[in-house]
Amino acid sequence: MAASDLADNFRRAMRTIASTVHIVTIHVDGTPMGITATAVSSLAMEPPSLLVCINERAAIHQVIGTRTHFCVNALHRDDVELAHHFSDYRMRELRFRTGTWLTDGEGPPRLAHAQASIVCALRQEHRFGTHSIFIGEVESVAVREDTDPLVYLDGVFGGFGG
Ligand SMILES: Cc1cc2nc3c(=O)[nH]c(=O)nc-3n(C[C@H](O)[C@H](O)[C@H](O)COP(=O)(O)O)c2cc1C
C-alpha cells in the first residue's frame, strides 16, 4: 500500500474510534498553559500512571518537559466550548478565562467542573515521530459526581449516548 493511502486509511480508521476529550495543563512561571488532547491513556495501576501524546508543534510541547507536574482534565459534556478554545491558537487569550480554574501555587491548573482531573508528577518523556509521549505518576484525583464525559467521534463532539 502506498504511504499516502496508508496514512489516509489510518486517518479514516481513527475517525471511527471514539475518544474522550481532555485538557492537559501546566503552569509556567505564573502563566497557565493548556491543550485539548484525546491522545491520553491510563498506563498502569502499579504505580497509578497515565500518558499523554503531544505534537511537537503545540506551544505546550516545548515546556511540558521542564515542569515537575501536569494535570489531565477530562471534560464533561457541558464543556465543549473549552475543547474548542484549547484546540484553536486564535483562542489562546480566552482559554483560562472560560470555566472555573483552580490553581495551587505553581501547580498545574485544575478545572473545577471537569469530569475528572488528575494531577501527575512527570516521570518520563519519549520521542516518536512528530510527537512526544509524557508519562505521569498520579498524585491526586478529583471526580465529578455525574458521569457524562465529552466524547469526540468522526470529527464531532458529543456524549457517550450520542
Ligand atoms: C478533538 C481534538 C483532539 C486533539 N488531540 C490532540 C492530542 O492528543 N495531542 C496533540 O498534540 N494535539 C491534539 N489536538 C490538537 C491541539 O489541541 C491543537 O493543535 C492546539 O491548538 C495546540 O495548542 P496551541 O494552540 O497552544 O499550540 C487535538 C485537537 C482536537 C480538536
Would you say residue 69 lies in a domain?
Answer: yes
Cis bond leading into 47, ω under 30°?
A: yes
The domain in which residue 51 lies consists of 19-29+37-90+114-156
Structural domain contains residue 77: yes
Q: Which atom of ligand 1 is nearest to the CA of 21?
A: 1
Task: Look at residue 162 in the predicted model and tell me its pLDDT.
Answer: 61
- Contact indicator for 43, 87 with CB cutoff of 8 Å: no
Q: How far apart are CA 109 and CA 119, in angstroms?
A: 9
pLDDT band at 3 (very low <50, low <70, confident <90, very high): confident
Cell numbers placing 52? 499523554
Please indicate, yes or no, if residue 14 is contained in any of the structural domains.
Answer: no
Statement: residue 48 has pLDDT above 90? yes
Residue 140 lies in a domain: yes
Confirm or reject: Cβ of 133 under 6 Å from ligand 1: no
Find the 73 Cα to ligand 1 centroid distance in Å.
14
Q: Is residue 13 part of a domain?
A: no
Structural domain includes residue 9 = no
Nearest to 21 by CA among 154, 160, 155, 150: 150
Kindly state whether residue 45 falls inside one of the protein's structural domains.
yes
Nearest of 50, 52, 56 to residue 24 by alpha carbon: 52
> Which pLDDT value is given to residue 82?
98
Q: Beta strands of 21-100 (E only): which ranges?
A: 22-28, 31-37, 40-45, 48-55, 69-74
On the question of pLDDT at 121 being above 90, the answer is yes
Q: Is the CB of 73 under 6 A from ligand 1?
A: no
- CB of 70 closer than 8 Å to CB of 142: no
Average pLDDT for 25-49 = 97
Distance CA 42, CA 3 (A): 30
Structure-derived torsion over alpha carbons of residues 52, 114, 76, 101, reported in degrees to the nearest 10: -100
Number of domains observed in the structure of the chain: 1
Does residue 162 lie within any of the structural domains?
A: no
Domain containing residue 146: CATH number: 2.30.110.10
